[in-house]
Structure 1
Amino acid sequence: MKPNSIRTFGRAIAAAVALTGVLQAGAASAAVPGDGDALSLIITYQTAPANRPALRHELEQSTARELARWKHDGHIKQYNLLFNRYADSDNWDAMAVLTFSTPADLYRWRVVERTRPAALSGKALAVTTSIHTTPVDAKRAEALDAKLPNAVYVVIPYKTLVSAGEYEKYADGYVIPQFKGWMDEGVLAGYSLYTSQFPAGRLWNAMVLLQYKDEAALSARESVVAKVRERLKSSPEWKAISDSKKNVRTEEQVVIADPVAVNQ
């Protein structure tokens, strides 16, 4: 990288820190998890296209019920169970995001794994071709509403190209203000940003879950993104980061997903 580019990005990151301090409603109200409640697992499942209906049925009949029970019993703090809206052999078919209150709760999860690997029943395992479990930290979040009836999820994995500290400053100064703007526009209900604890060899090392209120909100995504970015350009700090030529992350394949509910 050329010296001028380095100086430009350095000023951008410094501006991000200043913006974080000024906009307390940004990172501060983003419900930054503490060390004791940030532990999560992101589990993805793949199946053959012909078995997608069978996997979803079993998730509704068994896994969703078990996750609800484990939450009620205090074994997990929160969960999201999602199903990829589209058949896509290059991506996952289902995803579970499990959040634990303490490291001890996460440690106890190994007991579940003995009889229900990745929280799946025997029938679900029989039609599952691959499972990837990634221990992650929840770095930034605005609570996802599990009871939102028509919610649609956009799941975006990233490969970060800077240090963990630089990435968090970038998120606070550039990404989170956009999420907050989308919420102000009434399309986004909540979000979570996770980073992998053990990124070596993984296909991604950061992941964002965006919860849109409904299909109409998702359809307005592009116009709202453009509108909020145009508004944020009035902030010299945000614009400095936007104009920086530093490559902070690369976006991987996006998934549109729907929540899996208990089949009554």
Structure 2
Amino acid sequence: MPNLHRIIMNLLSIRAIGRVFAIAVVLAGMLPPSAARATEPSDNDALSLIITYQTAPANRPALRHELAQSTARELARWKHAGRIRQYSLLFNRYADSDNWDAMALLTFATPDDLYRWRTLEQAQPAALSGKALAVTTSIHTTPVDTKRAEALDAKAVNPVYVVIPYKTLVSAGEYEKYADAYVIPQFKGWMDEGVLSSYSLYTSQFPAGRQWTAMVLLQYKDEAALSAREAVVGKVRERLTHNPEWKALSDSKKNVRTEEQVVIADPIAVSQ
């Protein structure tokens, strides 16, 4: 009899655990999508391209004009048709021969849409018009994974972008853990302070031989927000020192990544 009693109790415990698990699954399904986006990569994390363009300093105005006249229109048309989920078309604020002049960041809606991009490439390499190609000296296209991304609901009216490439010195998995524990909490803090509208973290799918292996795209609300960058960075880091995990990573001298040249960029809108 004691054995029978023990068996019955075990069965009851298993059923109770099952009920708790079922409830947890239901509750998880009720969470808003934004609750997951903050910490998890998107379902389409492997459907993005980062394309950079370079031109001679004298041709920067011509390239920007053609991007606004042609490329921006083409990308807007693809988004309207549902083939591109989102895109950013940026222009380096400053002439800098050691860096890119323009950048397109494309996230496709489906693998088929990414595959169709090749048809546009055949006629318009990197979505450039003939006039834009004539003044472009180099193009680099990097397939990337979107690892982390978050944006405020309100759209910035006059956004400014900060683009930061990195060379990672650890494995991909270790870098993601580092980003979640050390980098992303800072981005969220900047958003809480009201200066940052969105952030995205990308990693190269085929990093061998590339100039960077990870890239961060930060969208500041406006010029005033960008000007407050250093003060806000210090304020948020001071607050995060009360987080033991974050402080341990901050205090450690382990080399995880090296920062490459930062670019300040402005969005290119469709020319009216």
TM norm structure 2: 0.85
CA distance in 2, matches of 1:213, 1:86: 19
1:230 aligns with 2:230: no
CA distance in 1, matches of 2:153, 2:76: 15
Helix, strand or coil at the partner of 2:91: strand
Helix, strand or coil at the partner of 2:98: coil
Helix, strand or coil at the partner of 2:232: helix
Match of 1:193 among 198, 201, 211: 201
1:81 aligns with 2:81: no
Residue of structure 2 equivalent to 1:247? 255
Helix, strand or coil at the partner of 1:201: coil
CA distance in 1, matches of 2:107, 2:91: 18
CA distance in 1, matches of 2:220, 2:202: 18
Match of 1:32 among 40, 50, 60: 40
How far residue 32 of structure 1 moved from its aligned partner, in angstroms, is: 2.8
- Residue deviations 1:104-151 (CA, integer Å, cap 9, x gap): 221111111011100101110000000000000000001377952210
Residue of structure 2 equivalent to 1:52? 60
1:216 aligns with 2:224: yes
5 Å matches for 1:102-113?
A: 102-113=110-121
How far residue 263 of structure 1 moved from its aligned partner, in angstroms, is: 1.0
Helix, strand or coil at the partner of 1:261: coil
Q: How high is the sequence identity, in percent, across the aligned residues?
A: 85
Helix, strand or coil at the partner of 1:36: coil
Aligned residues of 2:55 and 2:101 also touching (Cα < 8 A): yes
CA distance in 1, matches of 2:116, 2:254: 41
How far residue 46 of structure 1 moved from its aligned partner, in angstroms, is: 0.2
Match of 1:63 among 55, 60, 71: 71
Aligned residues of 1:80 and 1:146 also touching (Cα < 8 A): no
Alpha-carbon spacing, 1:38–1:146, altered in 2? closer, same or farther (3 Å): farther
- Residue deviations 1:235-260 (CA, integer Å, cap 9, x gap): 10110111111100000000000000
Greater RCO, CA 8 A, separation 6+: 1
Q: Which runs of 5+ in 2 are unaligned?
A: 1-33
Match of 1:151 among 149, 159, 164: 159
Residue of structure 1 equivalent to 2:18? none
Aligned residues of 2:199 and 2:219 also touching (Cα < 8 A): yes
Residue of structure 2 equivalent to 1:121? 129
Helix, strand or coil at the partner of 1:247: coil
Residue of structure 2 equivalent to 1:12? none
CA distance in 2, matches of 1:78, 1:186: 23
1:98 aligns with 2:106: yes
5 Å matches for 1:11-30?
A: 28-30=36-38
Aligned AA (1:32): E
Residue of structure 1 equivalent to 2:26? none
Helix, strand or coil at the partner of 1:153: strand
CA distance in 2, matches of 1:193, 1:27: 18
1:160 aligns with 2:154: no
How far residue 33 of structure 1 moved from its aligned partner, in angstroms, is: 2.9
Helix, strand or coil at the partner of 2:65: helix
Aligned residues of 1:144 and 1:191 also touching (Cα < 8 A): no
Residue of structure 2 equivalent to 1:72? 80
Report which of the two structures shows the higher radius of gyration computed on alpha carbons.
Answer: 2
Aligned residues of 1:199 and 1:205 also touching (Cα < 8 A): yes
Helix, strand or coil at the partner of 1:77: strand
CA distance in 2, matches of 1:134, 1:222: 30
Residue of structure 1 equivalent to 2:191? 183
CA distance in 2, matches of 1:134, 1:111: 17
Q: Which runs of 5+ in 1 are unaligned?
A: 1-25
TM norm structure 1: 0.87
